Amino acid sequence: MRESAENRKLLTRRRALELLGAGVVVGAGVVLAAVRTTGYALPATRRLAALADWQFVVVEQAARRIAAPDDGAEGHVPSPDEVDVAGFVDEWVSHMDRPVRRDLGRFLAYLEHVAPFGAGCVSRFTRLRAPEQDRVLRQLEGSKNDLLRAGFEGLKSLVFMGYYRSPRTWRLIGYDGPLLGRPSGGWR
Amino acid sequence: MALSADGFVRGRDMTESLVKLDVDAVVVGTGAGGSVMLRELARAGLNAVAFEEGALLASRDFNQREDDMIPRLYQDAGARTTADMAIRVLQGRGVGGSTIHNTNLCKRTPDAILDLWARKHAVAGASPDDLRPAFEAIERDLAVSEIDPAMRNANNEILRRGCEALGWRGSPLRHNRVGCVQSGFCELGCSYDAKQNALKVVLPQAVEAGARVYSDVEVVRIEHDGGRVTGVRGVARSEDGKPRAEVRARTRLVVLGASAVGSAALARKSGVPDPHGVLGRGLRLHPGGVVAGRFDEDVEGWRGIPQSYECTEHLSYEEGSDRRVWIVPAFAHPVGAAATLPGFGASHMGSMRAYRRLAVLTAMVHDETSGEIVVGADERPVLRYAMLERDRKQLAIGLAACARLLLAAGAREVTVPGVYPLRITRRADLDTVDWSSIRPHSVPLTAVHPLGTMRMGEDPSGSVVRSTGEHHQLRGLFVSDGSLFPTSLGAPPQISIYAFALHLAPHAIESARAG
């Protein structure tokens, strides 16, 4: 009898500790989720197919650096925004399987909130200046962690898919585009 | 049911919520192996259907745009990788399977490989002499011939030139194409119907013989009872991937032709007997890395037939060989090229500005690494593959050989993505490269030839199916795709898969007739 009363007491104490622990975890999760997902504004006209608002902004800013134009460019070089790289990525991701989307989401969260620390920055990736963002991306590209490097390569592939899918970028590289449906003056 | 007059049924157009079939045979997958098996079953007078999870597309659908075609023609929208994300695995999806997007290479299974399978893997009845009639027949069906040297594009000519300059072994390749206009968009589907593949040749023959092909239907379970197959269950999906109808087929014969990844995953999640723990194991990928060379003159490697010449200087099929590298050209359209070239930002754009002057070669490893297909929590296949050190060394040998070939052919500089120094301009510089640093994750790797996960052989403890293609323990279950092969081929597998399907079809027919 006495033993079970002690057990009950222990259980009660353990239960209380468990509840407290769970509360801390949930609370931290709520704070983290709020930090992760607030402060990202999209144009009112933008409707997303797969990405969350914050993910879209991270992709948009990463694309500006990954597909940044070179200095010696003659004529106008379309920016990633002009060919809507982030919009393309959002649409593309909507066709991906759930596990791949989940992995991409995790990598974007890492890029936004954790990777800047590794490059000596204390702000989110999306609040850094361009040279700092380049530093973060370079660090991921050369990371000793295979998964981080793979994550960077995956994001890079998506960004370049979005950028070089556009006929407006083909002239930069001397590519004349598909034979089918080619306009009489060539692709622009 | 939306049954079209020509025997092709689109699952996306199904109007009933439950479609029930009672047939003699079900083929899962419509690539090289599935299509031939379906045709032979139908020609034998059996009531046979095939289920394909991808869509039915025609030449008019192939618009030569990477952003449109990759998600439609490749598994996981082209994003399939090994579980550790080190190797991108490009596999076909759609009626015709990988024969829609492949580059039409037709290399028979090397005799040395067939001998090895007989000696070490207890494969019976598959000697070079046994297979010859099947190879000859399928090569006739698909109009296989050697590419005319006049149709060799600049990228392939650079490889030939490199081989000649170094005195290395090289030779022209054989293809299944007729009326090719040399557009160079093979990997995005042929807009000109020049590919003599499963979609254009074999499946229409199957349908003509009475078979039906269901597209947009994913088979989710093989049903079995008392040691024999009883049917399959599937889901027909609409274009956006949402379930549209449940499909149930009762049958006494199921043929798996869904690739070394898809077939093994389906068998595993269906609880197919596996008393010796061999199902899904033995995965080979034939992984490859690329090397780019920049030339002074325009190469415009995207034009013309992508792969018409090979270098076999570092390739031997003998067991235990330390020469296991196959080298072929591998030029990509802008999206693929941009993803592969190292770096990002302004320096990357600088590299892309040399796009039209680039030649690209790939070194593919005739691998001995044994990977595994498991089923993930969401029922999707997971590819486990950790490259062995001896394969890693072969990869390094192959990439160094590609660099040597490009420089010998006159490249101004070569780049091995991920390997420093990033730009090599002299042959002597190749000796300064730390080739030992090359490993998965350090260089971008791609695989297009997964094999070996339901391998054949007479010993049930070391193989999944008999040499006839029938499962050791489950009667009425056959395999007819690259899963069968006990080792890597060291070569593109499509013609071997077609030929083995033809070679094994009589056994499946006999099984179906026996009930």
- How close A11 gets to chain B, by Cα (Å)? 34
- Residue A39: inside a domain: no
By the CB < 8 Å criterion, does B426 face chain A? no
Question: Do residues B123 and B458 make contact, with C-beta atoms less than 8 angstroms apart?
Answer: yes
H or E element, residue B35: helix B32-43
Nearest CA among B325, B398, B329 for reference residue B147: B329
Distance CA B310, CA B329 (A): 8
- Residue A6: inside a domain: no
Number of domains in chain A: 1
Distance CA B9, CA B215 (A): 6
Write the pLDDT tens digit of every residue in B131-179.
Answer: 999 999 999 999 999 999 999 999 999 999 999 999 999 999 999 999 9
Mutation for testing the B interface, residue in A161, A168, A176 having most B CBs under 10 Å: A161
Annotated active-site residue B314? The verdict is: no
pLDDT at B3: 47
Runs of H (alpha helix) within B305-443: 334-340, 345-352, 389-408
Distance CA B469, CA B86 (A): 32
Which of B343, B346, B356 is opposite residue A174, by nearest beta carbon? Answer: B356
Q: Which amino acid is at B114?
A: L
pLDDT at B64: 94
pLDDT at A30: 60
pLDDT at B276: 97
By the CB < 8 Å criterion, does B59 face chain A? no
Q: Taking the alpha carbons of B62, B64, B70, B75 in that order, is the dihedral positive or negative?
A: positive
- Residue A72: inside a domain: yes
Domain residues for A111? Answer: 53-172
Write the pLDDT tens digit of every residue in B240-255.
Answer: 889 999 999 999 999 9
**DSSP string spanning A112-181?**
IIIHHHHTT--S-GGGS-HHHHHHHHHHHHT-S-HHHHHHHHHHHHHHHHHHHTSHHHHHHHT----STT
pLDDT at B506: 98
pLDDT at B2: 46
Nearest-Å Rg of the Cα atoms of chain A is 23
Question: Do residues B482 and B91 make contact, with C-beta atoms less than 8 angstroms apart?
Answer: no
pLDDT at B319: 83
Q: In this model, does residue A34 exceed pLDDT 70?
A: no
* Measured CA distances, B390 to A29, B120, B197 (Å): 45, 20, 35
SS3 percent helix, strand, coil of chain B, rounded to 5, is 35, 25, 45
- Residue A2: inside a domain: no
Q: Which residues of A touch B90 (CB under 8 A)?
A: none
Question: If you ran DSSP here, which 8-state letter would residue B108 be given?
Answer: P
Q: What is the pTM assigned to this prediction?
A: 0.91
Q: Which residue of B has its CA nearest to A95?
A: B77
Distance CA A32, CA B14 (A): 45
pLDDT at B402: 97
pLDDT band at A1 (very low <50, low <70, confident <90, very high): very low
pLDDT at A9: 55
- Which phi-psi region, left, alpha or beta, contains residue B93 (left: φ > 0; alpha: ψ -120 to 50)? beta
- Residue A103: inside a domain: yes
Write the pLDDT tens digit of every residue in A95-151.
Answer: 888 888 899 999 999 999 999 999 999 999 999 999 999 999 999 998 989 889 999
pLDDT at B492: 96
Three-state DSSP class for residue B470:
strand
By the CB < 8 Å criterion, does A110 face chain B? no
Q: Which residues of B touch A97 (CB under 8 A)?
A: 76, 79, 378, 380
- Residue A5: inside a domain: no
pLDDT at B5: 56
Q: Residue B22, Cβ neighbours under 10 Å: how many?
A: 10
- Residue A161: inside a domain: yes
Cα B488 to its chain centre, rounded Å, is 12
pLDDT at B382: 95
Question: Do residues B87 and B440 make contact, with C-beta atoms less than 8 angstroms apart?
Answer: yes
pLDDT at A26: 62
Write the pLDDT tens digit of every residue in A51-75.
Answer: 999 999 999 999 999 999 887 656 7
Quote the ipTM score: 0.87
Q: Which amino acid is at B224?
A: H
pLDDT in tens, chain B (515 residues): 444 557 999 999 999 999 999 999 999 999 999 999 999 999 999 999 999 999 999 999 999 999 899 989 999 888 899 999 899 999 999 999 999 999 999 999 999 999 999 999 999 999 999 999 999 999 999 999 999 999 999 999 999 999 999 999 999 999 999 999 999 999 999 999 999 999 999 999 999 999 999 999 999 999 999 999 999 999 999 988 899 999 999 999 999 999 999 999 999 999 999 999 999 999 999 999 999 999 999 999 999 999 999 999 999 998 889 999 999 999 889 999 999 898 999 999 999 999 999 999 999 999 999 999 999 988 999 999 999 999 999 999 999 999 999 999 999 999 988 887 778 999 888 888 888 888 888 888 999 999 999 999 999 999 999 999 999 999 999 999 999 999 999 999 999 999 999 999 999 999 999 97
Mutation for testing the B interface, residue in A84, A146, A168 having most B CBs under 10 Å: A146
- How close A14 gets to chain B, by Cα (Å)? 32
Cα B498 to its chain centre, rounded Å, is 12
Tokens of B113: 């490989």
